[in-house]
Amino acid sequence: MSLAMSRNDLAEYMAQIFPQVHRDFVIEELHEDSIVMRLVVEDRHLRPGGTVSGPSMFGLADVSVYALILARKGRLSLAVTTNSSLDFLRKPLGGKDMIAHCRMLKLGRSLAVGDVLMFSEGSDKPVARATMTYSLPPEGSAAAAFG
């Protein structure tokens, strides 16, 4: 097990493939089996009341696991989210970025599973927990991406 991309390579590649949103996400740490990803919280990530919205937390979890798959499998890897579960545990702190700690639980031939704990920056109480499953189609078979 080793990384196919460095943190810099991964950040550059994500900027290419996610031109609309890559500024929202900053890779804080990258290890072989884990990644720490920051969501730079802007107004568009908030829900009424001023805290980070559910879709924004879903997006953070999804991007975190996907980035770790890319770092391990390399550019051009196909991966499609097939399942997710999320638990919303506490109200996020207002005015704080969200920090996601993601572990790879399985990186198989056809499925990858990562879990994610999300925190408001500066707090050690988790705001949300997520697990994301990805289908990894055989190289070149985009048609197979949805299983």
By CB under 8 A, is residue 83 in contact with a copy of itself?
A: yes
By CB under 8 A, is residue 146 in contact with a copy of itself?
A: yes
Q: What is the DSSP letter of 144?
A: G
- Nearest partner of 78 among 109, 106, 104, 101, judged by Cα: 109
Half-sphere exposure in the Cβ direction for 38 (13 Å, CA): 13
* Residue of 1, 2, 109, 122 interacting with a copy of itself (CB under 8 A): 109
* Residue of 26, 36, 93, 113 interacting with a copy of itself (CB under 8 A): 113
**Sign of the dihedral defined by the CA atoms of residues 120, 9, 22, 104, in that order:** negative
Nearest-approach distance from CB 109 to a copy of itself, in angstroms: 6
By CB under 8 A, is residue 89 in contact with a copy of itself?
A: yes
Instruction: Write the CB contacts of 51 (distance below 8 Å, at least 6 apart in sequence).
Output: 91, 92, 93, 94
Terminal CA-to-CA distance of the chain, rounded, Å?
Answer: 25
Contact 28, 12 (CB under 8 A): no
Per CB under 8 A, contacts with a copy of itself among 29-68 are 48, 53-56, 58-59, 62
Stretch that binds a copy of itself, among 4-12, 26-34, 68-76, 78-86 (CB under 8 A): 78-86
Where on the chain is the footprint of a copy of itself (CB under 8 A)?
17-19, 48, 53-56, 58-59, 62, 80-91, 105-106, 108-111, 113, 115, 117, 126, 129, 131, 133, 135, 144-147
